[in-house]
Structure 1
Amino acid sequence: MTIAARLKGAVADTRPLQEPHFRRLWLAGIVTMIGAQLTVVAVPAQIYADTGSSAYVGLTGVFGLVPLIVFGLYGGALADHFDRRTILMVSTTGLIVTSALFWLQSALGNTNVWLLLCLFSVQQAFFAVNQPTRSALLPKILPVHLLPAANSLQMTVFQAGAIAGPLVAGVMLPFTGFTWLYAIDTVTLFVTLYAVVLLPRLPVEGAGAKVPGLRSVWDGFAYLRHQPVLLMSFVVDLIAMVFAMPRALFPQIAHESFGGPSEGGIAFALLFAAIPAGAVIGGIFSGWVSRAEAQGRVVMWCIAVWALGITLFGLTVALANHAVDGRTTALLLGLGVLFMMIAGAADVASAAIRMSMLQAAADDNVRGRLQGVFTVVVAGGPRVADVLHGGAAAVVGTAIATTGGGLLNLIGIALCALLVPSFVAYRVNRSDAPAAASADEGAK
């Protein structure tokens, strides 16, 4: 095999982009994600500018998480009942309207923090309905064997936006203020709406006749009880995020261990950018993800690499706490960032494969609800980790809290492998039709 052929096989699999509907959604996602990140930065910045209180900024966690959980679960139920194109059109329009309202309140000079928080909550509700619907429709427009590649491409865009958006916002804010950031977000969302309008009708196979209620949400969880492989795809992610996501400690680690100023600085920025940067690099070189057949085993190994990367980062923090000169501290900071980038690369591969498992193995009339659970787990796990790591660090210090969390992650997935061997054994066949059959069998 030539070097060119090997490189082609290593980089991201772009075959899903040959499908026009997916290509339009993906390209729109690039534009929209950067715009969305501008609002993500602008909202807490405006709240702090208006109040001077980090306590009010902290309320964005509550006002964001509650609608994300409620509407993530119920939005998935809606996506399993109504035409998914219609759900996307309504939720995308809702995102446009809320972004426009953010722009309007800023343009009018609003300083009422509760208005901002309520707008943020409504926006998160529309986002929570939109996300599981977008994920649930992929198996309707792409063959099963391209789902890992498609999910990897989408997650790479998301992580790249998580890096580029704050950088752009940081540069723009001193010159433009909040109003322009909200305006750009509003305009970019029309690109996504255009891609959604061009989708075909996407009715749900086997949808019930009644409008879904709480019973429908519960039925989604009941479905998981009889699908151990799908259930474990959530459990292993929760273990990884709850035990080994030390982002709440980054400000303290940057200041106390790596000598950065208390208000931020280079060390602070590097720590926060490390995992998303690793995820982007992992996404760029994700060609192997499409070829992976032993998906359960690959997910376990990816989470093990994630846990090991966080554990090694914790060890660099411990060494930095005893460093005697700035050069050693800088070297340890570089090593710590490298270990977290490796963890980020492993995490994006794990997430892409786990989402593909849900899309391929679940029945069409429960895909939306399972993707809703996926959205809640992905968003909720790190927030639980913030609380646990913050409390643990107050007792044992940041180095032990980080290293211990990584080790607990390794122990947790080892127990999962022993208790649910069917997850480790889960495989797919890389030919089109057999892939679906193999997925269904493995899930049961």
Structure 2
Amino acid sequence: MDRRPLTIPAYRRLWVASVIAAVGGSFSALAIPTQLFTVTGSSAAVGASAAVSLATLVVSALWGGALADAMDRRRLLLVADGCLALTYAGLWVQAALDLRSVPVLMALVAGQGLSYGAIMAAMGAAVPRLVPADLLAAANGLSALVRYAGSIVGPLLAGALIPVVGLGTLYLLDTLALLVVAWSVFRLPPLPPQAPAPGRPGPGGPRAAAGRPILSQVLDGFRYLLSRRLLVALIAVDLAAMVFGGPWALYPELAEREFGGATGGGFELGVLYASYPAGVFAVGMVSGLFTRAHRHGVLMVSAAVAWGTTVVLVGLAPQLWLAAAVLLVGGGVNFVLSTFRRAISQASTDDALRGRIEGSMIAITMGGPQIGNLLHGVAGAAWGPRWAISMGGVLTIVAVAGVTRAVPQLWRYDARQQVE
């Protein structure tokens, strides 16, 4: 594992706090759906809460990204972390009082999405100020490792703790974890906004942002993003991998009808869903094998093509163990893809606009998988899961090749040539 960024005290404090938040601050991801289903007896309520969370997170990421370019990013992170801690405290209070109120739960879910979206955008803009450009790939690898480890360990712990301590205690643990994160953010150095670098195009800077409507600042970010061919190519490759190569919506049908799984879920379905994050985590543990490389564009494009290939093989796999093995590899190559996509984006964006670009990227990457689920669901219903998954993989490879040919700058991208 490439631990070089951990030698930087400010980043190390932030990373250790993120470990605590990824596990002890992720219990609500399981507790909220569990409580909603218990109160309503309806999965529709759980689905509605996911929609509320996604919508508020996207809006907040765009809004928070604009704020991150106009104010001290440390202060914004403190406010957002404090709001998220208050949201978890509210969840704890309503559980302790046994309110059993769906509107209250939905309001708190919205508060969670609003806080988390701002945190994601501000954090993405803050890390490049703490870590030099040549360590961004390693820093993003460490962050992704924590995120995926938390998505595995957190729900497992929460599932085991619910019968023992109850939902309220889980919300309280989330609150305490966020307070630890807030303390780590408080100890960061000030991160005031910077003026655009000389000679680099694009709107931005604290003075340009002062007094302007947030929507106008958000649109500035989108205009800047669309004016940079490299950033557009990054988005196109990422969307190809998520939209064409995102077969998750077809896993239940694949598990039941192709691999003989039980109706409504079972071991086969669990294996399909668990294989991908297991691959991400495994490769994250040996990230030092590739994060020191400088040909970031080659690695990102190659990983995207490899992901498309694994998706094709999942659709063709005759047995569950083979599909699981392929998804394990797929998780690993997607770790490489996301690590270098973010490193290229952060290094190629002027600091005066990093918040807005991060917010725009979050909105796109959060929406991409939802579009992919919709397309795969429709294609699977029309042609069957195997055909839909395999064709999605082929389209991923074709789309990535087309983007690379149209924007050769992506393939040639070399981290050593970036001027800070």
TM-score (norm 1): 0.89
Letter in 2 for 1:40: A
Equivalences for residues 203-282 of structure 1 within 5 A: 203-206=192-195, 207-209=205-207, 210-212=210-212, 213-282=214-283
What residue in structure 2 maps to residue 53 of structure 1? 42
Matches within 5 A, 1:42-441: 42-206=31-195, 207-209=205-207, 210-212=210-212, 213-316=214-317, 319=318, 332-429=319-416, 435-437=417-419
Cα distance in 2 for partners of 1:211, 1:391 equals 46
Post-superposition offset of 1:251:
2.2
Superposed displacement of residue 126, structure 1 = 0.7
How many angstroms apart in 2 are the aligned matches of 1:29 and 1:287?
A: 20
| 1:147 aligned partner, one-letter code | L
**Runs of 4+ deviating beyond 6 Å:** none
Q: Does 1:18 align with 2:19?
A: no
Contact kept, 8 Å, 1:249 with 1:389, in 2: the verdict is yes
Q: Structure 1 residue 371: deviation in Å?
A: 1.0
CA distance in 1 between counterparts of 2:142 and 2:114 reads 25
CA RMSD of aligned residues (A): 1.4
Distance 1:20 1:396 in 2: 54
Deviations 1:79-104 (A, max 9, x none): 00100000000000011000111111
What amino acid is aligned across from residue 238 of structure 2 in structure 1? D
How far the C-alpha of 1:175 sits from its partner, in A, is: 2.6
For structure 2, list consecutive stretches of 5 or more residues without a partner in the other structure. 196-204
- Compute the displacement of 1:378 (Å): 2.4
C-alpha displacement at 1:176, in angstroms? 2.7
For residue 114 of structure 1, report the CA deviation from its aligned partner: 2.3
> Is the 8 Å Cα contact of residues 289 and 353 (structure 1) preserved in structure 2?
no
Aligned to 1:322: none
1:41 correspondence with 2:30: yes
Counterpart of 1:436, as a letter, is Q
Alpha-carbon distance in structure 1 between the residues aligned to 2:103 and 2:386:
37
The one-letter code of the counterpart of 1:389 is H
Supply the AA of the counterpart residue of 2:35. Q
Cα deviation, 1:21-78, whole Å, max 9, x if unaligned, reads: 1111111111101133311111111111111111111112320121122111111010
Does the C-alpha gap of structure 1 residues 251 and 174 become closer, same or farther in structure 2, counting only changes over 3 Å?
farther
The CA deviation string for residues 92-149 of structure 1, in whole angstroms up to 9 with x for no partner, is 0011000111111111112222221221111111100011111111121111101100
SS of aligned partner of 2:47: helix
One-letter code aligned to 1:22 = Y
Task: Indicate if the aligned counterparts of 1:139 and 1:359 stay in contact, CA closer than 8 A.
Answer: yes
Contact 2:243 2:372 in 1 (8 A): yes
CA gap 1:92/1:146 in 2 versus in 1, 3 angstroms: same
Task: Give the Cα–Cα distance (whole angstroms) in 1 for the partners of residues 340 and 38 of structure 2.
Answer: 41
The more displaced of 103-112 and 142-151 is 103-112
Matched residue type, 1:428: A
In the alignment, the residues of structure 2 paired with residue 114 and residue 357 of structure 1 have an alpha-carbon distance, to the nearest angstrom, of 41
Aligned equivalents of 1:115, 1:240: Cα separation in 2: 37
Identify the range of structure 1 (245-254 vs 220-229) with the bigger mean alpha-carbon deviation: 245-254
Per the TM alignment, residue 211 of structure 1 is displaced from its structure 2 partner at its CA by 4.0
Percent identity reads 36
Aligned equivalent of 1:29:
18
Instruction: Give the total of aligned pairs.
Output: 408
**SS of 1:290's equivalent?**
coil
